[in-house]
């Protein structure tokens, strides 16, 4: 790699999902975001495939005066869902890295192929530009072995890569640091429970900036109740549905990933709609909410025990940032654990990071809007420029930040 041009300060972040490509251009010199957008419904007619979607992204960037050929670009940062045990840090993409990520496809059959296509097309368009893979699993790679292991036969587990990897890591990393910053504490001295509650949902326990436990496992199916995923259940449910219900593996996979969670319980996976139905006395919606919140409380309790001392509980993503009702219900009655939500603060809507705990609460309860694009851009920029300091953020030396 040649030394980057000091005038090149922009990072393009690409998030190639199974049916959409999101992009955002960030200028690390001034924190501005000169371009962003999303190409959706890939494979449904107009946008034939990911290559076509990336071509649209390139055209849109050019139309916004920020074409892919711009000399201001210093790197492309790619979100990659599964890094397995192989990738635990942001990684400069080479042919070998692409080949290694391809080997991980069996672990993330829906996500990694889309991520890989995004990488390949972007590399073809700008072969000279450093491109960096930022893995959703990486932040969780610090989990101790006793948290990452399932209690099954070790040889079988190792033969098939069966262990807990965790996901949403970029968000958990960003939010745990932002929570420390909100408390005006060093991340290295702060213990945080992060609750990332979007359509997918996961919890993590972060001790002194290091992830020690998270709720998703081999795949994103484990853990919290989600929009359409069941989260935790007795694994024997699967054998029962196969043997007694006559369902195929694929049918059960679809049931648990796409037709369960809030959707399975009440027919809606949008918390706003569930709130409206609850206000009308709808019992199925109320039960879905209650199951969702009960699971959350269990994880807050468990992670309090894992951490020993909790400084902050941070809510993020669509539900976590917007649903005062979920925050209130999940933490109600936890005064014994030093957690007290202030109903007035909690009800205030806003787009900034904020505290919603009462003055008496020993544990700070925070709402922190997540910013995965910024985190990916920061990590990519830091890697390609070898910066000692993250450009956009919190005066945290990068060596502590990522290592
Ligand atoms: P995400 O995956 O982070 O984009 O979150 C999407 C989910 O956030 C949606 O499915 C909704 O359930 C939830 N959500 C978004 N806005 C609100 C809101 N104002 N109140 C409650 N839930 C919301």
Question: pLDDT tens, 394-403?
Answer: 444 333 343 3
Q: Note the pLDDT of residue 110.
A: 85
Cα–Cα distance for residue pair 257/216, rounded to 1 Å: 13
Q: Per mean pLDDT, which range of 17-31, 232-246, 360-374, 389-403 is the poorest?
A: 389-403
Q: What is the whole-number distance in angstroms between the Cα of residue 367 and the centre of ligand 1?
A: 14
Q: Which residues of 174-185 are buried (b: 16+ CB within 10 A; e: fewer)?
A: bbbbbbbbbbeb
Return the closest-CA partner of residue 336 out of 310, 372, 307.
Answer: 310
> Nearest residue CA, atom 4 of ligand 1?
318
Kindly state the DSSP code that residue 363 receives in the 8-state scheme: B
Answer for the pair 309, 361: CB distance below 8 angstroms, yes or no. Answer: no
Does the annotation place 79 within a ligand binding site?
yes
For a ligand 1 pocket test, name from 198, 229, 369 the mutation site with the most ligand atoms within 8 angstroms of its C-beta.
Answer: 198
* Residue 96: active-site member: no
Q: What is the whole-number distance in angstroms between the Cα of residue 320 and the centre of ligand 1?
A: 8
10-135 is classed CATH 3.20.20.70: no
Question: pLDDT tens, 148-163?
Answer: 999 999 999 999 999 9
Instruction: Ligand 1, residue 317: give the atom nearest the CA.
Output: 3
The yes-or-no verdict on residue 94 having pLDDT over 60 is yes
Q: Per mean pLDDT, which range of 287-301, 350-364, 375-389 is the poorest?
A: 375-389
Q: What is the whole-number distance in angstroms between the Cα of residue 270 and the centre of ligand 1?
A: 6
Helices (H), 280-316: 283-307
Q: Per mean pLDDT, which range of 44-53, 301-310, 375-384 is the poorest?
A: 44-53
Q: Looking at 152-272, which runs of residues are DSSP E strands?
A: 191-197, 201-207, 210-214
Question: pLDDT tens, 203-240?
Answer: 999 999 999 999 999 999 999 999 999 999 999 999 99
| Average pLDDT taken over every residue of the chain | 93
Which token pair is 39?
Answer: 């190409």
The yes-or-no verdict on residue 293 having pLDDT over 90 is yes
229: helix, strand or coil: coil
Q: Note the pLDDT of residue 227.
A: 97
pTM value is 0.94
The yes-or-no verdict on residue 65 having pLDDT over 90 is no
> Angle 283-307/324-331 helices, nearest 10 degrees?
60
Instruction: Ligand 1, residue 271: give the atom nearest the CA.
Output: 12
Cα–Cα distance for residue pair 253/110, rounded to 1 Å: 12
Return the closest-CA partner of residue 269 out of 299, 293, 289.
Answer: 289
> Nearest residue CA, atom 16 of ligand 1?
318
Confidence of residue 17 (pLDDT cuts 50, 70, 90): confident
Answer for the pair 20, 50: CB distance below 8 angstroms, yes or no. Answer: no
Residues with CB under 6 A from ligand 1: 198-199, 227, 269-272, 317-319, 322-323
Answer for the pair 191, 305: CB distance below 8 angstroms, yes or no. Answer: no
Residue spans per domain, the chain: 10-135, 184-367
Catalytic residue among 30, 49, 95, 136: 136
For a ligand 1 pocket test, name from 195, 271, 276, 347 the mutation site with the most ligand atoms within 8 angstroms of its C-beta.
Answer: 271
Same fold, 10-135 and 184-367: yes
Return the closest-CA partner of residue 215 out of 280, 151, 168, 154.
Answer: 168
The yes-or-no verdict on residue 391 having pLDDT over 60 is no
Q: Note the pLDDT of residue 394.
A: 40
Q: What is the whole-number distance in angstroms between the Cα of residue 384 and the centre of ligand 1?
A: 34
342: helix, strand or coil: coil
Q: What is the whole-number distance in angstroms between the Cα of residue 273 and the centre of ligand 1?
A: 10
> Nearest residue CA, atom 1 of ligand 1?
198
Across the range 56-84, mean pLDDT stands at 93
Query: What CATH number belongs to 184-367?
Result: 3.30.420.40
């Amino acid at each position: 790699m040649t030394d980057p041009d000091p005038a090149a300060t922009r990072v393009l972040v690409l998030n190639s999902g199974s049916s959409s490509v999101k992009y955002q251009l960030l200028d690390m010199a001034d924190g501005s975001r000169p371009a962003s957008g999303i190409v959706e419904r890939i494979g449904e007619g107009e946008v034939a495939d990911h290559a076509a979607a990336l071509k649209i992204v390139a055209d849109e960037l050019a139309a916004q005066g920020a074409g892919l050929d711009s000399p201001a670009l210093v790197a492309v940062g790619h979100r990659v869902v599964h890094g397995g045990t192989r990738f635990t840090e942001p990684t400069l993409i080479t042919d070998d890295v692409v080949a290694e990520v391809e080997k991980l496809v069996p672990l993330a059959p829906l996500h990694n192929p889309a991520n890989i296509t995004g990488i390949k097309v972007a590399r073809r368009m700008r072969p000279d530009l450093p491109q960096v893979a930022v893995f959703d699993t990486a932040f969780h790679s610090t989990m101790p072995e006793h948290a990452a292991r399932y209690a099954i036969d070790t040889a079988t587990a190792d033969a098939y890569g069966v262990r807990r990897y965790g996901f949403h890591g970029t968000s958990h990393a960003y939010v745990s640091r932002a929570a420390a910053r909100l408390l005006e504490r060093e991340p290295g001295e702060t213990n945080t429970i992060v609750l990332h509650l979007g359509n997918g949902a996961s919890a993590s326990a972060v001790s002194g900036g290091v992830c020690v436990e998270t709720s998703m496992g081999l795949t994103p199916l484990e853990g919290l109740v989600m929009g359409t995923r069941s989260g935790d259940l007795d694994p024997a449910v699967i054998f029962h549905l196969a043997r007694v219900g006559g369902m195929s593996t694929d049918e059960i996979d679809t049931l648990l990933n796409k037709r369960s969670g809030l959707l399975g319980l009440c027919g809606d996976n949008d918390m706003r709609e569930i709130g409206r139905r609850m206000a009308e006395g709808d019992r199925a919606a109320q039960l879905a909410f209650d199951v969702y919140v009960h699971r959350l409380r269990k994880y807050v309790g468990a992670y309090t025990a894992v951490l020993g001392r909790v400084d902050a509980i941070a809510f993020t993503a669509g539900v976590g940032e917007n649903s005062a009702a979920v925050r209130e219900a999940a933490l109600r009655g936890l005064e014994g654990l030093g957690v007290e939500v202030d109903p007035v603060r909690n009800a205030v809507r806003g787009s900034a990071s904020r505290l919603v705990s009462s003055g008496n609460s020993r544990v700070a309860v925070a709402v922190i809007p997540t910013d995965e694009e910024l985190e990916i851009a920061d990590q990519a920029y830091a890697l390609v420029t070898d910066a000692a300091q993250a450009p956009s953020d919190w005066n945290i030396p990068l060596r502590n930040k990522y290592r």
